Amino acid sequence: MPEPSRSFHDDVFRVDVDHRGQVAVVRLAGSANMDDSAGLKEELFELIDSPVERLVLDMTELDFLGSVGLGAIIAAHLQCRHANCSVHLVGPRPKVRELLQVTRLDKVFFIHESLDQALATA
Amino acid sequence: MSLEQPLSQQVVIPSDLCAARQVEDCIIREIESRGYDAQCVFALRLALEEAIVNAHKHGNAGDPDKRIFVSYEVNDRRVVVRVRDEGDGFCPARIPDPTVPDRVPLPSGRGIMLMRAYLDEVTFNESGNEVQLVKEKS
C-alpha cells in the first residue's frame, strides 16, 4: 500500500505510552527528527527500568526515523538484554521498514505486522 | 513550462541540533516545493541528519561554541549539500562496515553507510571535515 504524501514539517514527533500488565506499548508517531527524538532514549530506559517484560514500539504512524531515534531504539534493545526484556516493533511503514533492512536491523528486532500479534507473542 | 530558478545558500549555525533542524527544514521545504518525490525527501532528510549529527557529535565534539557550515544548491534536477565542521576530520575508509553481524546491534556508526545507500554521491574533502551530498531528482 503506498504511503500517504505528507510534509515532514507538519508532522510533529509524538510518543504515547500505554501499560498493559508487564508490557509497555509505546506509540511513535510523526517524524522522529534529530532534535525531537533526543529524549527518546531516556524515555525508553525509564520504561525498561519500571520494569517491563516487553517493550512494544508501535510504528504504524511513524513517518520518519533519523539516526538519533534509531540510535535510541537500538540502545533500548541493548538495555533490554541486560534487563531480561525484549523490544518488539509493530507495523513499520515502507520507508522505515526499508531503513531497518538497509541497516540489517530487521535481523535484530522482532518485527510484527500488528499490535495484536506483538501482544500475543509469548 | 519554465523551470524554477536554482537556489544557492550558505549558512553558518552554532553546533546544536535545534539550529541544524531549521536549516534542514529549509532544504527539505525547497525540494518539496520543486516536486521531489517522497522517497527523495526521505532519503535527503535521512542523509542530512546523519551528516549534521556527525558534524555536531564527532567533528565538533558537541561543543555549542563551535560552528557548522552548510551550503546547498537546489535546482529542478538535483540537490547538492555540503556540511563542514570545525573538527580535525577523519578518514572515512577507516570506518568499519556497520552491517557485519558483530556491528549491526551497535547504537551508532552507520551514518556514512546510510548516506551512501540513500544518495547518488557522497564525497569527503581531503581532511574529512566536510561531506558533500548529492541527490538526483527521480
Residue A59 has what pLDDT?
98
Cell of A80: 533490554
With beta carbons under 8 A apart, name residues in chain A contacting B99. 103-104
Q: How confident is the model at residue A1 (pLDDT cuts 50, 70, 90)?
A: very low
Per-residue pLDDT at A121 exceeds 80 = no
Does residue B130 sit in helix, strand or coil? Answer: strand
Q: Backbone phi, then psi, for B27, in 5-degree steps?
A: -65, -45
Per-residue pLDDT at A5 exceeds 60 = no
CA distances from A23 to A14, A55, A88, B69 (A): 19, 6, 10, 44
**What does the alpha-carbon distance between residue A28 and residue A41 come to, in Å, rounded to a whole number?**
13
Mean pLDDT along residues A87-109:
96
Chains A–B, number of C-beta pairs less than 8 Å apart: 76
Q: What percent of chain A has pLDDT over 70?
A: 91
At position B38, the amino acid (one-letter code) is A
Measure CB to CB from residue B104 to each of A9, A67, A107 and give the nearest one: A107
The pLDDT mean for chain B works out to: 93
Strand partners, A55: A24, A87
pLDDT digits (tens, 9 = 90+) for A31-84: 998 888 878 999 999 999 999 999 999 999 999 999 889 999 999 999 998 898
Is the Cβ pair A105, B104 closer than 8 Å? yes
Q: Which of A5, A11, A35 best probes binding to B when mutated, by most B CB atoms within 10 angstroms?
A: A35
Cell of B69: 557550515
pLDDT digits (tens, 9 = 90+) for B72-128: 999 999 999 999 999 999 999 999 999 999 999 888 889 999 999 999 999 999 999
What is the end-to-end Cα distance of chain A in Å, rounded? Answer: 29
**What does the alpha-carbon distance between residue A96 and residue A62 come to, in Å, rounded to a whole number?**
8
ipTM of the complex: 0.89
Q: Is the distance from CB of B69 to CB of B10 less than 8 angstroms?
A: yes
B21 Cβ under 8 Å from any chain A Cβ? yes
Mean pLDDT along residues B50-77:
96
Mean pLDDT along residues A112-120:
94
| B1/B44: higher pLDDT | B44
| A84/A122: higher pLDDT | A84
**What does the alpha-carbon distance between residue A92 and residue A112 come to, in Å, rounded to a whole number?**
9
**What does the alpha-carbon distance between residue B57 and residue B63 come to, in Å, rounded to a whole number?**
8
The residue in chain A having the minimum alpha-carbon distance to the alpha carbon of residue B16 is A35
A38 Cβ under 8 Å from any chain B Cβ? yes
Residue B1 has what pLDDT?
46
pTM for the whole thing?
0.90
| Other residues' Cβ atoms within 10 Å of the Cβ of residue B7 | 16
With beta carbons under 8 A apart, name residues in chain A contacting B28. 8-9
